[in-house]
Each structure stands twice: as C-alpha cells, then as structure tokens.
Amino acid sequence: MNPTKTAPRGAAEGVANAGDSEVMTYRDALRLALREELQRDEHVFIMGEEVGVFEGAYKVTAGLLGEFGAERVRDTPISEEGFVGAGIGAAMLGERPVVEIMTINFLLVAMDQVVNHAAKIGAMFGGEVRCPLVIRTPNGAGNQLTAQHSQSFEGWFAGTPGLKVLAPASPADAKGLLKSAIRDNDPVLLVENLAIYKERGEVPLDPEFLTPIGLANVARVGSDITLVAHSYATVRALHVAEKLARDHGVDAEVVDLRSLRPLDVDTVAASVTKTSRAVCIEEGWPTYGVTAEVAARIQKACFDDLDAPVERVGMAEVPLPYAKQLETAALPGEDRIEAAVLATLGLRG
Amino acid sequence: MAIATATLRDLYEQMLLIRVFETAAEREYKAAQIGGYCHLSSGQEAATVGATHALDAEDLLVTGYRCHGFALARGVSPEAVMAELFGRSGGCAHGRGGSMHLLDVDVGYYGGWGIVAGQLPIATGLALALVRQGREQCVLCELGDGAVNMGAWHESLNLAAVWKLPVVFLVMNNEYGMGTSVERASAVTDLHRRAGAYGLPAERVDGNDLIAVAQAASTLLSGARSNRQAAVLELVTYRYRGHSVADPGLAYRTSEEIAEHQHNDPITRTRALLSEAGVSDEQFDAMDTEVDERVAAAIAWSIASPPPPVSELARGMYAPGSAAQFARMLAGAPFGERELVFAGGLGE
C-alpha cells in the first residue's frame, strides 16, 4: 500500500458519512478501539496496573473487565519490568498483548525490556520470530505532578530502530492509531497524554477505521509558517494558529506528526517548502528531542526553501518544579509558542 | 526415573558433542573465524543435556547467552549453530545474532538472550501465552547464578507464582557470575532457597550428575505442565573456561581449583555409567570419532556458507508490510541511510 495515494489525509476523511461518527473524548476513543479489537481478535488482551478492578488509573479501560473478564483484562502487580517482558514473551508466541503503563515515567523501569529486548527481536534473530506487542502510556505535565511524574520520553523510544512510536493528538487518531498498533506485527509504543484525555472530537464508529502508521496529518492548512507538533503540542499549536490569524493576520499551517517512528518527513517537507519557515514544538525537552530530529530533517530536505532558521519550543530544560508559577513558566505554553512563531517570522524579536 | 542404556548413550553423545563443539569454537575464535563475545559451557554438559532431555517435544526453551550447548541439546544442528558463530547466512539467526543469540522456533527454542536476567520476564510471558492458548506445555528458562540478584528475577518469579504459570527457572550455578563468586555476590548462597519467598517448589541438584539432573528437571517440568506449578531448579556445576573466550579465567580462581573440579567431570562420570552398562572402549572410540567428524563437518559447512549480503542489512527488523509505513521517512535522512537501510526493502 502506498499511504500517499490511498490513506485519508485527515483522520475523519475515512468516514463514509457523518452518521458514522460521534463526538467523544480521547479517552473514550481509546476505550472504543480497545473494545473493538478485543471483540475482533481473541488473541488481544490487556495487561497493566489497575486496568481491571480499579478501571484504569485514567479510566481508559473502564468497564472492560466486566465485559471481557479477568483473563483478557489482566491486573498486574506493580512490576513493570516483569509484565512488559511478559507481554514480549506472549507476543512472541502469537498473542496480541496491549500493555498499559500508568505513565511514561514508569516505563523507565522497563526500559531494558523495551529497548534491549522488544526492539531487538526482529533483527537480532534474523526475522525468525516477531513481537506484536503494544504498549500504551501517557506523557505530559501541567498538574503540578512535579519532576518524576511530568515527563515526555517518546523521543528516546522513537530513536530506537526496531520500535514503532505513535503519538495521536485527536480522538479520531487515538482510535485509529491504537487499532493500527494492535494489528501491526511489530512492537509499538503508543504515547497518549494526560491533558488530552478529556479533549473531544468527532470519531468514526466504523470498526475498520484505521489511521495509517507513518502518515502525518495537516491539521490546519496555512501559508505563512509551518508548526510541526505531536501529541498535546498539536493541540497547543492549533490554538496558537487561531490566535495568530486573529491577532496578527498570520496564516499558520499545523502538521501533526501522529507517527514518530516511522516519521513522515515528506508531509513536513512539503509544508515547509510552501511556507519557508518552521517552528517545531514538543512537550518534552528539545535537546536531543523529537524537535531536534525534525529540525535536522527539515534543514536537509528544505535547505534551499528556508527563509529563517528552524525554531524549536519545548519544556524548559529543568526537572519540572512543583510551584504552579514555576511549572507554568517551564511548559511549552501558547504564549511561548506564539512568541517563537512571531520571532521566526521577523514580526517580533 | 530410570534411563535406558540406549538413551543414556544418546545423552552421552550429546554431551560429547557439546564438549568438542566448544573446544572447536575456542580454536576458531582464536583463529579469528569467530568474533564478538563467545561464552563456552565446557564442564556444564550434564546440566545442559539432562535438563533439556526432560523437555517434551512441544515445550519451550529460553536461555541466557551461554547457549551453544542448549541449542545443540535441543536439536539445532551443529551446522546452524557454528555458522551463526561464524556470522554466516546459514546460521540459525542468519548471522544477525552470533554466539549469544541463537534460536530455532521450530524446536521451541526462543532464544539466547544477552542481558543478565532479561530473558526471565520473556519466559514468563511465553508461559502466559501457553496458558491463554490452552496448551499443556511448559517453559524451561535457563539463567546463571549471577542473574538471581537482578530485579527481573524477583519480578518474574512473583508473576509466575501469582498467575500460576508453567515455567521452570533453571539456575545454572557454575560458582561464578563472570569473575565474582556466588559467596561474594549473594547473601544466601543456597540459591534455590530464594524460591521460598514466592512459595515455589525448588530443588538443588548436583549438576554434574546427568541422571539426577534429568530426574529433578522431569519432576519439576511435569508439575509445570500438569498443575501450572512454576518452580526453581538449581544445578550446581562448574565452567572450565573463562567467562568468555577473552577471559583466561584465572584472576578470580586458581588452576588447582579448576583441576579439582575436572576430577568431577560430567562426561567422565557418565562414561563410567555406560561402561558399567557394558559399552566397550571400541564403542566409545567410535562415538569420539563420530562427534569429531560432525563438528569438523559443521566448520566446513560454515566456511562454505556465504556471509549475509549488506543489501540485507535491515533484514527482519520490521515485519513484512512495514516498508510502506517508512516510505515517507527518506527525505532528509542521515547520510547513507537510504542505501543501507531502505534500499534492501525494509520489512519485505
């Protein structure tokens, strides 16, 4: 399949008619995807801390234990290295585990299983065995959760060959990408976001609705500058784009990456070729981050088209403090994104 | 468990094959035919062969990185193992894994893994899949004495116990984790007692006694199969060579200590059993010759097996169908990435 020819550009374009979709939260869209896939394939099962009786730390799995039973919605001990590895082993024997990690901060204690094991299986064993594992986990900050619970590490995993890393920003893509991840035959990390869970949007109800892996989405068409983002940074970028249009007459294009590995550089480059300017935004630290990679790709792919250096906005490079005004100052808020856009346009220094 | 003489003779030949194979691997390593790390298991043959013998054909095996012997005992051909050590296309992992990452899913061998204790959670997950699929088989997971001090050991035994999973953890206690003795590494040196913390049955057995190993493994594996009872089997043995070929193995122990252990050699002990059962010196000589020829043939076959082509650098990394997903990642890629990784048909 060539995704450029057959895949919907916007997530909702895959819907036959408006009656097939429903407005729901990102959280509910994820749950819909899980329910549909649990119904579709008996090899799919959910595993994680508090996913069953407690109904999920962020309620994504609420109701699924009652519907599918404890064998398919499996509560685990607080034991990430153990149950992520168990997911890997089960996947190697043809199961389709969907492992929930309460937040991406806790995935670090299972880093060895993800990076040193899951990511290596395909290549290290010469393609003799596969690992169709899904890990879902939220990143993000903003609720005074402080240094150990406010991080966004998706770039670390996206930098690892052998993994696929997805980061939906809309309810429709939350459903479509989670379903694509579960049906994929490789280990996939699906990064959700604490602040997006409550965001609402139109979600196709077709159980065969899938968002293609490796295809970015032009979430807002514009002509003056390209904002490249993923996950919650896309939500921020879309708000900023509307404000720029209203207050400054700036028409910004927003590219929502959706997929970090594979990374759709073609869509980013096409946009920057058109606008000649780019600001890359992420929730995490920019140094060695997703925006670092995207900026490097832009400068190579669009060298002759750029009218300004590629700018980046992310979390201030400190362990996130508790005090509200410090936390707010450190996050890639809309004011900081707007200022970066105006500076890149030469409208404000 | 009585072992028929014919079976004992077959197991003896497997032990002999491993010893001759490991000796040849060391020679070929020093001749620069084999690179990387190369961990030999000479001295551990009874533990390796006895435990593997107790597996049913449909059971699964997972090991750490000292895995040549397990692969051979499980039925991977000496050609496929040696060619993997040589980094050739004909290797069991097509030259991608090397000494530490042997596997053959056709015989239920799910890998040699290189991170100490990293294979334990995976073995636990294989056992979970067996349960989910309603299969009455079990998993044997080998690890070294050094692995019991890793968190993954604790997490895996606990999960196997609370979820009632059919997995037996085989602790190959060869007295040293690399160069650190069990006494210097573990607060409780009777390692199988750790199983008590999880309410799991456990046995500690002379790992150089082939029959005792096979009996204990058979009992615990049967419990795993029929009652989903996870367990720990500690096999006390000794490795004659260093941690890897690059380690002379004398910084942390003496040659006298090694010589003393060689008086308790598992192959000599098993040979004595066969002699008592009437196997003649001529028959032993014939077995020696046959094993020598098999290893020589494996080396010749490996030399003839072509190295994997660079055009297949990314082989196996992603599942078939992935090339389309990565098609839009080429723009702005790092120098050479397009030719090295993508040109060969990523995931096709």
Per-residue pLDDT reduced to its tens digit, A161-204? 999 999 999 999 999 999 999 999 999 999 999 999 999 999 99
pLDDT of the residue at B342: 86
Amino acid A348: pLDDT = 74
- Chain A contact set for B318 (CB, 8 A): 122, 162, 164, 186
Residue A3's pLDDT is 36
Residues of chain B in contact with residue A82, where contact means CB-CB under 8 angstroms, are: 121, 124, 152, 155-156, 158-159
Nearest to B103 among A71, A129, A300 (CB): A129
Chain center to CA of A115 = 18
- pLDDT at residue number B344: 76
Cβ atoms B91, B305 nearer than 8 A: yes
Copy the structure tokens of residue B271: 């040979």
Q: Kindly tell me the burial class for residue A343, based on how many C-beta atoms sit within 10 Å of its own C-beta (0-12, 13-18, 19 or more).
A: middle
Alpha-carbon distance A343 to nearest alpha carbon in chain B (angstroms) = 25
Q: Would you state the pLDDT for residue A10?
A: 43
C-alpha separations of A212 from A29, A152, A260, B114, B238 in Å: 16, 23, 12, 34, 53
Specify the DSSP element, H or E, that contains B171: strand B167-173
Give the span between the Cα atoms of B120 and B110, in whole angstroms. Answer: 12
State the smallest CA–CA distance between residue B274 and chain A in angstroms. Answer: 38
Q: Across the interface, do B103 and A125 touch by the CB < 8 Å criterion?
A: yes
**Whose CA is closest to A180, among B256, B194, B321?**
B321
Write out residues 59-88 of A within 8 Å (CB-CB) of B. 71, 76-77, 79, 81-88
By C-alpha distance, the chain B residue nearest A262 is B326
What is the percent of chain A where pLDDT is above 70?
Answer: 94
User: What pLDDT does A19 receive?
Assistant: 59
Chain B: closest CA distance from residue A60 (Å): 24
Residue range B77-125, pLDDT digits in tens: 999 999 999 999 999 999 999 999 999 999 999 999 999 999 999 999 9
Active site residue A43: no
What confidence tens digit (pLDDT) does each residue in B296-311 have? Answer: 999 999 999 999 999 9
Planar angle of CA A102, A103, A109, nearest 5 degrees = 90
> Which of A6, A43, A68, A93 should one mutate to test binding to chain B, selecting the residue with the greatest count of B CBs within 10 A?
A93
Residue in A80, A282, A293, A338 annotated catalytic: A80
H or E stretch covering A235: helix A232-248
Q: Which residues of B214-242 are buried (b: 16+ CB within 10 A; e: fewer)?
A: bbbbbbbbebbbeebbbbbbbbbbbbbbb
Minimum distance, in Å, between the CA of residue B63 and any CA atom of chain A: 13
Contact B132 A127 (CB under 8 A): no
Query: What size, in residues, is chain A?
Result: 349
CB contact under 8 A, A85 and B92: no
Nearest CB to A77; choose among B91, B152, B158: B158
Give the Cα separation of B267 and B44 in Å (integer).
Answer: 9
Q: Kindly state the tokens that stand for B63.
A: 């090991």
Disruptive mutation site among B65, B155, B163, B338 for chain A (greatest number of A CBs within 10 Å): B155
**Helix, strand or coil, per DSSP, at residue A218:** strand
pLDDT of residue A15: 42
User: Which pLDDT belongs to residue B280?
Assistant: 97
Helical (H) or strand (E) element with B202:
strand B202-206
- To the query of whether residue A149 is one of the catalytic residues in this protein, the response is yes
Q: Which chain A residue has the Cα nearest residue B330?
A: A265
- The verdict on a CB contact (< 8 Å) between A83 and B113 is no
What average pLDDT is seen over chain B? Answer: 96
Segment 218-277 of chain A within 8 Å of chain B by CB: 259, 262-267, 269
CA distance A318 to A21: 42
Structure tokens at B344: 């060969």
Q: Which amino acid is at B112?
A: G
Q: What is the mean pLDDT of residues B211-218?
A: 98
Inform me whether the pLDDT recorded for A87 exceeds 80: yes
Answer whether residue A8 shows pLDDT above 80: no
Closest residue of chain B to A160, computed from CA coordinates = B317
Closest CA to B36 of B126, B121, B96: B96
Average pLDDT on A18-30 reads 91
Would you call B132 and A45 a contact, using CB atoms and an 8 Å cutoff?
A: yes
Chosen from B325, B335, B340, B342 to mutate, greatest number of chain A CBs within 10 A = B325
Strand boundaries in chain A, DSSP class E: 21-25, 44-48, 73-75, 96-100, 134-139, 164-166, 188-193, 200-204, 217-220, 225-229, 252-256, 259-261, 278-281, 311-313
pLDDT at A9 over 60: no
Both tokens of residue A151?
């991080």
Which range, of A186-190, A298-302, A344-348, B22-26, averages the lowest pLDDT? A344-348
Q: What does the alpha-carbon distance between residue B3 and residue B274 come to, in Å, rounded to a whole number?
A: 11
The neighbouring-strand residues paired with A117 are: none
C-alpha span between A263 and B333 (Å, rounded):
10
Q: Note the pLDDT tens digit of each residue in A47-63.
A: 999 999 999 999 999 99
Express each pLDDT in B45-88 by its tens digit.
999 999 999 999 999 999 999 999 999 999 999 999 999 999 99
Q: Are A114 and A123 in contact (CB under 8 A)?
A: no
Tell me the C-alpha distance between A29 and A200, whole Å: 9
pLDDT number for residue B345 = 73
A252 secondary structure, DSSP code: E
Q: What is the pLDDT of residue B167?
A: 98
- Comparing alpha-carbon positions, the chain B residue that sits nearest to A87 is B125
Predicted confidence band at B343 (pLDDT cuts at 50, 70, 90)?
confident
Q: What is the pLDDT of residue A51?
A: 98
Catalytic residue among A43, A95, A149, A334: A149
Supply A309's token pair.
């250096």
Q: Which residue has the tokens 């030399």?
A: B303
Q: Which of A85, A122, A269 sits opposite B121 (nearest CB)?
A: A85
Distance from CA of B227 to the nearest CA of A (A): 18
Q: Which pLDDT value is given to residue B2?
A: 75
Residues of B in contact with A4 (CB under 8 A): 327-328
pLDDT at residue A298 tops 90: yes
The pLDDT assigned to A12 comes to 44
Q: A307: exposed, middle or buried (C-beta count within 10 Å: 0-12, 13-18, 19+)?
A: exposed
Q: Is A115 on the interface with B (CB under 8 A)?
A: no
**Residues in chain B within 8 Å Cβ distance of A299:** 332
pTM reported for the whole predicted model = 0.95
Instruction: List the Cα angle B158/B195/B214 in 5-degree steps.
Output: 115
Find the mean pLDDT for residues B313-341: 94
Q: What's the rounded mean pLDDT across residues A343-349?
A: 87
Interface of A with B in 156-215 (CB under 8 A): 161-162, 164, 184-186, 212-215
Average pLDDT, integer, range B30-39:
96
Chain A residues within an 8 Å CB radius of B105: 128-129
> Is the model's pLDDT at B258 over the cut of 80?
yes
What is the percent of chain B with per-residue pLDDT over 90, rounded to a whole number?
97
User: In degrees rounded to 5, what are phi and psi of residue A263?
Assistant: -105, 125
